[in-house]
Amino acid sequence: MSDQTLESPQPADPSDADEDAPAKKKRGALREAAILVTVAVVLYYVMLTFIARPYLIPSESMEPTLHGCNGCVGDRIMVDKLTYRFSEPEPGDVIVFKGPPNWSIGYKSIRSDNPAVRAVQNALSFVGFVPPDENDLVKRVIAVGGQTVECRVPTGLTVDGKPLNEPYLDPNTMNADPAVYPCLGNEFGPVTVPEGRLWVMGDNRTHSADSRAHCSNLPADVQRGLLCTGDPVAGTIPVDNVIGKARFIAWPPSRWGGVSSVDPQS
């Protein structure tokens, strides 16, 4: 019987390991980057859903506090979605809310019919550079549930019979002086705000479709120029519709700063 010869395995070439090292390092870096991006996206989504979200101001209804108009560079604000999980909106708070059904009549989608453009618009909306395709509005809380709001020329705007202090109103912006035109529009009310609802108005009173524009009117009162004497629910919004509180102007840099929450009833 012939002897079998066992061959020893060839030793590994050190140069092969050296050649694989950069590739392994690159793959590891790519995996790490992918994990970091995934974590960042998840955290950003959690922030937008539960903590804060950017919004674009599309109209002039809150000037001079918040700037916005069709075709111009409007303010981008950060909206705090956490505060109202533990407390209720208060007079003077600037809030973002979903318009109730009677506030959304005639609302038309602001998205393009082109699927590709629409996808880009939705992506930009997610980070606050394009308005959401929903009737989200921004106004200031004037009265809360149980309070009575009205406006008469002799007294101006009042809540529970007391005149309001509103330093955020600017006659030049409104093209009207509250000292001359106390209601900055028609007289209205009295409206007793139902519990769980809010009466809201824009700081640019002469250019704001707010609670006054959506209230219920009695024909006999309308004939004498008095609005909002009908169903008090119509002109108010549910607290449950409030998305959050406007906290900070994030863009443009020239407008950086906090959003004032001056209590007009103080």
* pLDDT tens digits in sequence order for the chain, 266 residues long: 455 555 555 655 555 555 677 777 778 788 888 888 888 777 766 666 667 788 889 889 999 999 987 667 789 999 999 999 999 999 999 999 999 988 888 777 778 889 898 888 888 777 656 767 778 899 999 999 999 999 999 999 999 999 999 999 999 999 999 999 999 999 999 999 999 999 999 999 999 999 999 999 999 999 999 999 999 999 999 999 999 999 999 989 999 999 989 999 99
Is residue 196 within 8 Å of residue 84, measured between CB atoms?
A: no
**162 belongs to the catalytic site:** no
Which has the closest alpha carbon to 245: 7, 42, 51? 51
Within 8 A by CB and 6+ apart from 164, the residues are 142, 156, 157, 158, 264, 265
Residue 146 lies in a domain: yes
- Residue 11 has what pLDDT? 59
Residue 249 lies in a domain: yes
Residue 99 lies in a domain: yes
The kind and range of the H/E element at 119 are helix 115-126
Residue 78 lies in a domain: yes
Q: What angle do CA 104, 149, 231 make, to 5 degrees?
A: 50
**61 belongs to the catalytic site:** yes
**Candidates 139, 208, 245, 261; catalytic one:** 139
CATH number at 191 reads 2.10.109.10
**Candidates 61, 125, 208, 261; catalytic one:** 61
Collapse the DSSP code of 232 into the 3-class scheme (helix H, G, I; strand E, B; otherwise coil) and give the result.
coil
Residue 138 lies in a domain: yes
Q: What angle do CA 87, 249, 86 make, to 5 degrees?
A: 10
The pTM assigned to this predicted structure is 0.79
- Residue 187 has what pLDDT? 98
Number of domains the chain is built from: 1
For residue 254, give the DSSP letter: G
Residue 200 lies in a domain: yes
Residue 144 lies in a domain: yes
- Residue 172 has what pLDDT? 96
Is residue 161 within 8 Å of residue 124, measured between CB atoms?
A: no
Residue 152 lies in a domain: yes
- Residue 121 has what pLDDT? 84
Q: 212 lies in which domain range?
A: 51-106+134-258
